Structure 1
Amino acid sequence: MRLSAAVPELPVRDVFRAQLWYHKRLGFQIGWHNHAGRIGAVTLGECILFLRQSARPGGAAWIFAEDVDAVWRDWEARGAAPDGPPRDMPWGLRQFTQADLCGNCLTVHHDLDARE
């Protein structure tokens, strides 16, 4: 049996507004949304995020990147506010964290062993 990548579903207060934020601040493309506006998607490269309307936002997603530093520089230039530059962590990842406009936590990372 073979599985493909999982697609996280992040809770947001307003799907359309969240899609625009992901597009403007992080460079994602707006994938789709349903006519009722309760769920939609954004994509960047092979990364897909579903955004679902919820009264209680605050989810998380871990996003693998080939070059974490390049992603951080791009998001900084777009006016996003990551928690600081990427750091090498004791658990073997280089990572940084970015909160979206609804408080969802995006951790962008790559394995340190993979970069050597």
Structure 2
Amino acid sequence: MIAALADDEPLLTDPPSIESISAITLSTGDMAHAVAFYERLGLEVVAGGPDASFTTLAAGQQRLNLTAEAGRGTPAWWGRVILHVGDVDASYRAVVARGVEPEFEPRDAPWGERYFHMVDPDGHEISFARPL
């Protein structure tokens, strides 16, 4: 369906068909520190690494990218990456055992997920969650 925006500019009113999210890219001021953090969460480096300016980590079939932005400081809060896991409580115990300090223990949210989250070295919030 096409609606007119102006006399000569059409506006497509049907949204695009999005199949999936390919990757999320986060900036980091310290690639080595960020890579170590995400490896402790269980993600695997598939390209780049601690000394690279761009790193890709696997989160199941999805990808999390890190881009080095040294000297730009920690960004203001922007949102949260939510990673679904099979068992939130077991994931909590695993990341704590690997030296990660989540913000709180797993809890049930009013929106229908069990979750906990942590903050990465650059201030990005990362949640592990599972629908109830």
TM-score range, shorter chain: 0.7 to 0.9
One-letter identity of the residue aligned with 2:53: R
Structure 2 regions of 5+ residues with no counterpart? 1-16
Say if 1:97 and 1:107, in contact at 8 Å, map to a contact too: yes
SS at match of 2:23: coil
Greater RCO, 1 or 2 (C-alpha within 8 Å, sep 6+): 1
The yes-or-no answer on 1:100 pairing with 2:120 is: yes
Query: TM-score if structure 1 supplies the norm length?
Result: 0.79
Say if 2:37 and 2:100, in contact at 8 Å, map to a contact too: no
One-letter identity of the residue aligned with 1:105: E
One-letter identity of the residue aligned with 2:52: G
Match of 1:46 among 61, 64, 86: 61
- 1:73-102 deviation line (CA, Å, top 9, x unaligned): 110111100112110011111110111111
One-letter identity of the residue aligned with 2:29: R
Sequence identity (%): 28
Match of 2:30 among 1, 6, 14: 14
> Radius of gyration: which is bigger?
2
Q: CA deviation at 1:44?
A: 3.8
> Which structure carries more helix by proportion?
1
Q: Tell me the distance in 1 between the aligned counterparts of 2:130 and 2:74.
A: 26
